[in-house]
Amino acid sequence: MERMEFGRIKVIPGQNNGRFPFCNSLLIDDSVKAVIDPGAGLEPMRQLREGMDIDLVINTHFHFDHIAYNYLFDHSRIIINDREGECFRDRREILKRLGMTDYYGDAWTQGWLDRISRPDSVQSPYTPQNRHEWWLSTARLDGTYQWGEVMDFGATRMEVIGAPGHSAGFCCLYFPGEGIVYTGDIDLTSFGPWCFGADGDFDQFVKSAEIIANLDAGTYITGHEAGIVNRDDFRTALKQYFDIINKREARIMAALSEPVSLNDLCAMGLIYGKKFLVDEWVRAWDALTVKKHVERLSAKGIITCADGKYAQK
């Protein structure tokens, strides 16, 4: 994606086409200068930091790829939604919300804090779990904002639209004057909706995305990959994006053609693919997601459980 400007609102494309763990960032170049989700990459964020005085850093939510370079903006005010401010005040909250503490326990969570506090920790090729930027970029929080809040940057006004599902505090940022919405992780990627944390919820995600699709906006800027799309294309792509949730459930249903224990089902890598399960975070997310789907399918009455094993009805 090219760097694109909509008057005072400028898109800073993430490195590697904005693929995780990078994201597309926004710059509001107004009387108040703000950067939204500074995860585009070290170089683009360094250039931005050196090129102008940024007053404000706004994080849509606490995930790594959206906060990674907060630390570069050492003279700026850093804010996040008030539902996730706790992740900065007590970093253990990050792993609770990502589902890791449920899966691996409190001692493992403590070990993670030790790892991210050091610049020389061993890294995973698949997730940024041990990156020192976690530590640096959650070291300071200067304030929080609320869903529904309207922020004024001078000529630009921005409304915070609560959009839970991806994370409990997640929000999209809407510029009614320009007809622009930054959709963050309602991102239309071929991977599909990510609601795998302990605070994620598929049904809420779909509901939130539908609210966003109905805003009076012509331009949708995603936090990853797709980049900039018009509303019709956003709506069309959203249907395919939601359908990935059904495809995941279809894979689980197929695996349940004969009785399988939850542990065995989780070892199949049905969400990410088996080879990625070597990564501790992926392993936990894959299992937590399979579990969430199994609960949904049980609630729908299309799978049964007998002697600790699940199967199609």
Q: Is 225 in the site for Zn ion (CB under 5 A)?
A: no
- Closer residue to Zn ion, CB minimum distance, 6 or 147: 147
Shortest separation between residue 6's beta carbon and Zn ion, angstroms: 23
- CA 82 vs. chain centroid, Å, equals 16
- Closer residue to Zn ion, CB minimum distance, 37 or 178: 37
Stretch in the footprint of Zn ion (CB under 5 A) among 57-65, 87-95, 172-180, 214-222: 57-65
Shortest separation between residue 244's beta carbon and Zn ion, angstroms: 16
Maximum alpha-carbon separation in the chain: 65
DSSP string covering the chain, please? ---EEETTEEEEPPHHHH-TT---EEEEESSSEEEES--S-HHHHHHHHHHS---EEEESSS-HHHHTTGGG-TTSEEEEETTTTHHHH-THHHHHHTTHHHHH-HHHHHHHHHHHTSTTPPPPSS--TT-THHHHHTS---EEE-TT-EEE-SS-EEEEEE-TTSSTT-EEEEETTTTEEEEET----TT-----STT--HHHHHHHHHHHHTSS-SEEEESSTT-EEEHHHHHHHHHHHHHHHHHHHHHHHHHTTS-EEHHHHHTT-TTT-GGGGGSHHHHHHHHHHHHHHHHHHHHTTSEEEETTEEEE-
Shortest separation between residue 154's beta carbon and Zn ion, angstroms: 29
- Closer residue to Zn ion, CB minimum distance, 13 or 200: 200
Shortest separation between residue 301's beta carbon and Zn ion, angstroms: 32
Q: Which long-range contacts link 275-278 to residues 24+ away (Cβ below 8 Å)? A: 276/126, 278/126
- Closer residue to Zn ion, CB minimum distance, 128 or 153: 128
Stretch in the footprint of Zn ion (CB under 5 A) among 111-119, 147-155, 185-193, 290-298: 185-193
Residue among 29, 30, 133, 185 that touches Zn ion (CB under 5 A): 185
From first CA to last CA, the distance across the chain in angstroms is 47
Q: Distance between CA atoms of 39 and 70, rounded to whole angstroms? A: 8
- Closer residue to Zn ion, CB minimum distance, 30 or 185: 185
Residues 6+ apart with CB under 8 A from 249: 293, 296, 297
Q: Is 84 in the site for Zn ion (CB under 5 A)?
A: no
Shortest separation between residue 128's beta carbon and Zn ion, angstroms: 12
- Closer residue to Zn ion, CB minimum distance, 13 or 21: 21
Shortest separation between residue 49's beta carbon and Zn ion, angstroms: 22
Number of residues that bind Zn ion (CB under 5 A): 2
Stretch in the footprint of Zn ion (CB under 5 A) among 23-31, 128-136, 181-189, 227-235: 181-189
Q: Is 63 in the site for Zn ion (CB under 5 A)?
A: yes
- Closer residue to Zn ion, CB minimum distance, 185 or 199: 185
Q: Distance between CA atoms of 102 and 84, rounded to whole angstroms? A: 18
- Closer residue to Zn ion, CB minimum distance, 6 or 242: 242
Shortest separation between residue 196's beta carbon and Zn ion, angstroms: 10
Q: State the residue number with the nearest CB to Zn ion.
A: 63
Stretch in the footprint of Zn ion (CB under 5 A) among 134-142, 148-156, 179-187, 278-286: 179-187
Stretch in the footprint of Zn ion (CB under 5 A) among 60-68, 84-92, 93-101, 285-293: 60-68
Shortest separation between residue 169's beta carbon and Zn ion, angstroms: 11
- Closer residue to Zn ion, CB minimum distance, 63 or 283: 63
Q: Which residues bind Zn ion (CB under 5 A)?
A: 63, 185
